[in-house]
Amino acid sequence: MLHEPLHQQLVRLGLRGAADALARLACDEAVLDMLALLLEAECLHRDSLAQTRRLKLAKLGQSAHPADVDIRTPRGLGKTRWQHLLSLNWFRQHQHVLLVGPTGIGKSYLACALAKAVIEQKKSVRYLRLPRLGEELVPLQAQGRISAWLKTHARIDLLILDDFGLVPMSPSHQPLLLELLEDRQQRGSVLVTSQLPIKLWHGQFQDPTLADAILDRLVHNAEKIELTGESMRKNQPRSPANEDKPEPKT
């Protein structure tokens, strides 16, 4: 049917009444072509607004794009491994990714580039920098809003936990990490960056039982990528334009 593609597009836009009316109208080809152009423009406009909202929600620590990642730099991440990560199969299977390596190697940039790839698939992302997480949680606890915070993050498709272990989490906040992971079981993915080797993660928690529970949910269902090499900041020229950049472009 000539009207069918336009009917489906109207339904997609939530214009059910207009879609039903179109099926009853006799329109010539020129009118239908014009209507198709208008509907396509509206779809592109809405997609652009939705993409902007997803980027704003993500609050990414850096502006990064997968195409800008330099896989030629020797750091234990070759083209094949990077393409595998960009395929997002791990994300679709609700697996986690752990990026571990020394400071300046580009972990945060890689995490944000992967986040951008997820956002481009029209999925939600939220970036949390763990050393500053306490600043966000303290007022929420005082206002009794932690439960709402957990529910909001449970709906996020990809959660980024940046700089795990750089600063020990407050003992009062450590159980919240378990709650975050528990809510994501078979429903969402977590991407962690850390300077700390995975074998030392257990010691970051005051309660060994809590540590066992967190690592069981985080590490055993994860793709582990250990980056190596010197800090990439050493190769950056010093200039006023890049002095304030928190992470190197990789």
54-76 pLDDT per residue, tens: 889 899 988 888 988 888 877 88
Upper half-sphere CA count for residue 53 (Cβ side, 13 Å): 9
pLDDT for residue 148 = 93
**Residue 146, Cβ neighbours under 10 Å: how many?**
15
Three-state DSSP class for residue 144? coil
Cα 207 to Cα 75, 171, 172, 199, distances in angstroms:
34, 9, 11, 16
Asked if 170 and 134 touch (Cβ cutoff 8 Å), the reply is yes
The more confident residue out of 30 and 182 is 182
Q: Which two tokens stand for residue 146?
A: 């932690």
- Give CA torsion, residues 154, 156, 162, 165, to 10 deg: 10
Which helix or strand (DSSP H or E) is residue 39 part of?
Answer: helix 29-58
Q: What confidence tier does 1 reach under pLDDT thresholds 50, 70, 90? A: very low
Q: What confidence tier does 207 reach under pLDDT thresholds 50, 70, 90? A: very high
Largest distance between two CA atoms of the chain: 73
pLDDT for residue 98 = 96
Residue type, 133: L
The yes-or-no verdict on residue 115 having pLDDT over 50 is yes
Q: Cα(134)–Cα(56) distance, rounded to whole angstroms?
A: 21
Closest to 153 measured CA to CA, from 185, 126, 173, 117? 126
**Residue 56, Cβ neighbours under 10 Å: how many?**
9
Three-state DSSP class for residue 239? coil
- Give CA torsion, residues 149, 154, 155, 156, to 10 deg: 90
Mean pLDDT of 217-227: 91
User: What pTM, to 2 d.p., does this model score?
Assistant: 0.79
Give me the residue label for tokens 């009062």.
Answer: 172
pLDDT for residue 15 = 83
